Amino acid sequence: MVDSKEALAIAQLAVYIPVLICAIFIIFRHGFNKQVGWRFLGILCLVRIVGSCFEIAAIHHPDNKTDAKWSAILQSVGISPLLLTALGLLKRL
């Protein structure tokens, strides 16, 4: 049985992997312009995907404290790229 933390991590993977694929496609389509927020959306997706992977690893190996620490760090860092994405996309509008 999957507990709620692992289910949430799996749901994040299910959401952020397709978004990362779309963001990479759009980044290569529009170029690496600094003013557009798609790069930051890609960074946000990468951070959330890696954080979710560490969360799943921490659940399956509870004796390994490093996975739990990296999961907490990466899950909390995600707000900065989100704000930069919003600012970049608003500037484009």
Q: What is the pLDDT of residues 26-50, one digit of tens each?
A: 888 877 766 667 788 888 899 999 9
CA–CA gap between residue 68 and residue 57 (Å, rounded): 8
**Does 77 score more than 90 pLDDT?**
no
Task: Tokens for 5, please give them.
Answer: 């933390």
Q: What's the structural domain count of the chain? A: 1
Task: Tokens for 1, please give them.
Answer: 């049985």
**Does 56 score more than 80 pLDDT?**
yes
The domain in which residue 49 lies consists of: 4-92
What is the reported pTM? 0.83
